[in-house]
Structures are given as C-alpha cells and as structure tokens.
Structure 1
Amino acid sequence: MLVERQHALIEELRSSAPRYLSAARLAQRTGTSVRTVARDLARLCAAGVPIDVRHGPGGGYSIDARTALPPIVLTPGEAAALIASLVAVGPYVSAAAKSSLDKLLAALVVEGSS
C-alpha cells in the first residue's frame, strides 16, 4: 500500500538522518524497487515533505530529523481528517501511528463528558 511504503521511507530517512541514503539502500530496507522508491519520494517531495535530494557520489535522500515539533493547533475538523486517515491506514501499522491516533483522540475528548 502506498501510504505504508511512504511511511516506511520517512521512518528510514528519519532514523538515518543526517546521513544520506541512496535509492538502492532505501529499496533494500523497504523491500521495494529503486523505481518505486523514486516515485514515492517524488510524491512526498511534491506534497511538501522536507526531503533533501543530493545527486552524484555520496548523494541520496535525507530528511530533517528533529526529535520534537513545535505545538500545532488543529481545528476539530482537521483532527477528524487526520483520525480518519490513520484509521484507514490502520493505527497499528506502527507505534508512531498508534501514538498519534491516541493523542488526537485524547485532544477531542471534552473533560467531564462520557
């Protein structure tokens, strides 16, 4: 599935940052082809994911791998869209997906309501 592959690519880049990984190495680590990796990374770049691309020897792909992000304010509708996306992918596809779903759901719960 496309979303699972893209998530795996982002996680591989994040765990290797700041080093650059070649498309061949990413293909090996994600069990796909170099062509699939290139297409998936092109989609992620087009969507605005901050992937740095270096051509030539020692080049490859890298991503900003901050350990934490600044607080993000979402509307309830934006949170619902993210929840629907996570549920569609499967919240148990990774620990990060499960954790983010838990945080979004907790943010939507109103104190004192059941």
Structure 2
Amino acid sequence: MSEGAGSGERHSTGRRLDAVLPLVERQHALIEHLRARAPRTTTAAELARQLGVTSRTVERDVARLVDAGLPISVRRGPGGGYTFAAPTRLPPVALTPAEAGALISAVVAVGPYISAAARSAMDKLLTAIGPDGS
C-alpha cells in the first residue's frame, strides 16, 4: 500500500514528497507573482515576504527556474531584482504524444496537490489527446 506524502514517501530525486511538494507550489507561486508584475522588477526580499521564506530560498528557487530555461532576468545589487520576460499569452505549441504524456505524468505525480492552472493544462492536454488516445 502506498504511503502518503507526509509519511516518508520519496520523490524520484530521493527527497521526501512532503519536501518536494512545497517546492513545486512555491516555485509556481513565484512564477505567477513575477508574471503578474511583469515588466516591473521584484526584489528577493519582496518575494520572500510573499512566499513566507528567506531571500536565500528565493535566490535558489530563481536559479533553478533560470537553469530550467524560464525567461527570468536577474539584476544584482542596489535597485536589482527579478523580472519575468515572457509574453502574457503563449502562441500555440505543438507537442508530440510522448511530450504530452511526460507533462501529464509530471502533473499526475503531484497528485491532489496540483494547482488550478496545472489541472487546467492537464485537462487541455487530455482533450487534445482525445478519449481514444489519438
């Protein structure tokens, strides 16, 4: 029988799920905060207050997101901060069935903890795949 997220179940990274899920939720909240404020700059201290974490945690999260390819501009020093440099609307994206399956699997792995945006994206992918998998 599967253990719950709070009882020691492990993510593929080896980290406990109860540690990974807050990371996913926090990074999603960070992206949404930056996106909503774009093109204005947001400081690490402001993001830390919004997310209830330290500035260092924000810096690590932003570094992970930048490494993953997210268009976040980082300006260091006085007057610096983070700016999300992505459009407010995305153009249509063509995914292979394998790519759609990978994204759906990632959302399903998070389980009941997914955000409304993640659920909506998964629903769109499932609709595009169709009921017979075509």
How high is the TM-score relative to the length of structure 1?
0.88
Q: How does 1:18-97 map to 2 (within 5 A)?
A: 18-90=39-111, 93-97=114-118
Residue in structure 2 matching 1:4, options 14, 17, 25: 25
SS in 2 for 1:82: helix
1:33 and 1:82 map into 2 onto residues whose CA distance is 30
Which structure ranks higher in relative contact order (CA pairs < 8 Å, sequence separation ≥ 6)? 1
SS in 2 for 1:37: helix
Moved over 2 A (4+): 89-95
Aligned-pair CA distance for 1:59: 1.5
Aligned-pair CA distance for 1:60: 0.3
Extract unaligned runs of 5+ from structure 1. Answer: none
- Over the matched positions of the two proteins, sequence identity in percent amounts to 62
SS in 2 for 1:84: helix
SS in 1 for 2:104: helix
Contact 1:26 1:37 in 2 (8 A): yes
1:106 and 2:127 correspond:
yes
Contact 2:71 2:86 in 1 (8 A): no
2:54 and 2:77 map into 1 onto residues whose CA distance is 19
Extract unaligned runs of 5+ from structure 2. Answer: 1-21
**How many residue pairs align between the two structures?**
112
Q: Hey, what does 2:13 align to over in structure 1?
A: none
